[in-house]
Amino acid sequence: MRILRSLRSKLKARRDRWESLCRKCGVCCYAKEGGFLHIVIHMNKPCEYFDKRTKLCKIYEERFRICRYCGKVRLYHALFSRCLPDTCGYVEHYRRWRLVRGAEIKR
Protein backbone atom coordinates (compact mmCIF):
# COMPACT_ATOMS: atom_id res chain seq x y z
CA MET A 1 0.00 0.00 0.00
CA ARG A 2 2.85 2.35 0.78
CA ILE A 3 4.39 1.71 -2.64
CA LEU A 4 1.11 2.57 -4.37
CA ARG A 5 0.81 5.81 -2.40
CA SER A 6 4.40 6.69 -3.28
CA LEU A 7 3.76 6.05 -6.99
CA ARG A 8 0.62 8.20 -6.93
CA SER A 9 2.43 11.08 -5.28
CA LYS A 10 5.30 10.85 -7.80
CA LEU A 11 2.85 10.84 -10.71
CA LYS A 12 1.02 13.84 -9.26
CA ALA A 13 4.32 15.70 -8.79
CA ARG A 14 5.30 14.96 -12.39
CA ARG A 15 1.89 16.12 -13.66
CA ASP A 16 2.13 19.31 -11.55
CA ARG A 17 5.63 20.08 -12.93
CA TRP A 18 4.35 19.61 -16.49
CA GLU A 19 1.30 21.83 -15.88
CA SER A 20 3.52 24.53 -14.34
CA LEU A 21 5.23 25.03 -17.72
CA CYS A 22 1.97 26.25 -19.22
CA ARG A 23 1.77 30.05 -19.36
CA LYS A 24 -2.02 30.02 -19.61
CA CYS A 25 -1.87 32.05 -22.82
CA GLY A 26 -4.70 30.03 -24.37
CA VAL A 27 -3.16 29.86 -27.85
CA CYS A 28 -3.68 26.10 -27.95
CA CYS A 29 -7.44 26.74 -27.49
CA TYR A 30 -7.89 28.52 -30.84
CA ALA A 31 -8.72 27.13 -34.28
CA LYS A 32 -5.74 25.94 -36.33
CA GLU A 33 -5.36 25.22 -40.01
CA GLY A 34 -2.56 24.38 -42.35
CA GLY A 35 -0.39 21.57 -43.51
CA PHE A 36 2.86 19.92 -42.60
CA LEU A 37 5.11 22.94 -43.15
CA HIS A 38 2.91 25.85 -42.15
CA ILE A 39 0.25 26.18 -39.43
CA VAL A 40 -1.89 29.27 -38.84
CA ILE A 41 -3.67 29.90 -35.53
CA HIS A 42 -6.81 32.01 -35.88
CA MET A 43 -7.09 34.16 -32.75
CA ASN A 44 -10.65 35.15 -33.67
CA LYS A 45 -11.94 31.55 -33.34
CA PRO A 46 -11.53 30.30 -29.76
CA CYS A 47 -12.89 27.03 -28.41
CA GLU A 48 -16.42 27.39 -27.06
CA TYR A 49 -15.17 26.51 -23.56
CA PHE A 50 -12.35 29.07 -23.53
CA ASP A 51 -12.86 32.15 -21.35
CA LYS A 52 -11.10 35.04 -23.12
CA ARG A 53 -11.09 37.23 -20.01
CA THR A 54 -9.30 34.76 -17.72
CA LYS A 55 -7.55 32.86 -20.56
CA LEU A 56 -8.59 29.61 -18.89
CA CYS A 57 -10.70 26.65 -19.92
CA LYS A 58 -14.15 26.61 -18.32
CA ILE A 59 -14.18 22.79 -18.23
CA TYR A 60 -10.48 22.19 -17.58
CA GLU A 61 -10.78 19.05 -15.45
CA GLU A 62 -13.20 17.40 -17.91
CA ARG A 63 -11.88 18.93 -21.16
CA PHE A 64 -10.69 15.71 -22.80
CA ARG A 65 -14.02 14.01 -22.17
CA ILE A 66 -16.29 16.91 -23.16
CA CYS A 67 -14.49 18.74 -25.98
CA ARG A 68 -13.70 16.63 -29.02
CA TYR A 69 -11.10 19.15 -30.28
CA CYS A 70 -9.10 19.33 -27.07
CA GLY A 71 -5.96 17.23 -26.94
CA LYS A 72 -3.22 16.82 -24.40
CA VAL A 73 -0.03 18.72 -25.01
CA ARG A 74 2.62 16.06 -24.68
CA LEU A 75 6.40 16.14 -24.82
CA TYR A 76 6.26 15.16 -28.50
CA HIS A 77 4.18 18.29 -29.25
CA ALA A 78 6.57 20.51 -27.32
CA LEU A 79 9.52 19.14 -29.28
CA PHE A 80 8.14 18.73 -32.79
CA SER A 81 4.61 20.04 -33.33
CA ARG A 82 4.06 23.13 -35.42
CA CYS A 83 0.69 23.70 -33.71
CA LEU A 84 2.31 25.50 -30.78
CA PRO A 85 3.91 28.95 -31.18
CA ASP A 86 7.49 29.66 -30.12
CA THR A 87 6.13 31.64 -27.14
CA CYS A 88 4.47 28.55 -25.61
CA GLY A 89 5.96 27.63 -22.23
CA TYR A 90 6.29 23.97 -23.22
CA VAL A 91 8.06 24.89 -26.45
CA GLU A 92 10.44 27.32 -24.78
CA HIS A 93 11.35 24.77 -22.11
CA TYR A 94 11.94 21.77 -24.37
CA ARG A 95 12.67 23.02 -27.89
CA ARG A 96 16.15 24.44 -27.42
CA TRP A 97 16.90 24.49 -31.13
CA ARG A 98 14.87 26.26 -33.79
CA LEU A 99 14.73 23.61 -36.51
CA VAL A 100 10.96 23.40 -36.10
CA ARG A 101 9.23 26.76 -36.48
CA GLY A 102 6.17 27.38 -34.36
CA ALA A 103 2.76 28.31 -35.62
CA GLU A 104 2.00 31.71 -37.09
CA ILE A 105 -0.59 33.66 -35.10
CA LYS A 106 -3.25 35.61 -37.01
CA ARG A 107 -4.98 38.29 -34.95
Structural domain contains residue 61: yes
The string of pLDDT tens digits covering residues 31-64 is 877 766 667 777 788 889 999 899 889 998 898 8
Structural domain contains residue 49: yes
Confidence check: pLDDT of 13 > 90: yes
Is pTM beyond 0.75 here? Answer: no
Structural domain contains residue 85: yes
Structural domain contains residue 2: no
Print the domain residue range for 35.
21-106
Structural domain contains residue 12: no
Does residue 6 contact residue 75 with C-beta atoms inside 8 Å?
no
Structural domain contains residue 46: yes
Structural domain contains residue 50: yes
Please tell me the predicted confidence (pLDDT) of residue 49.
92
The count of domains in the chain is 1
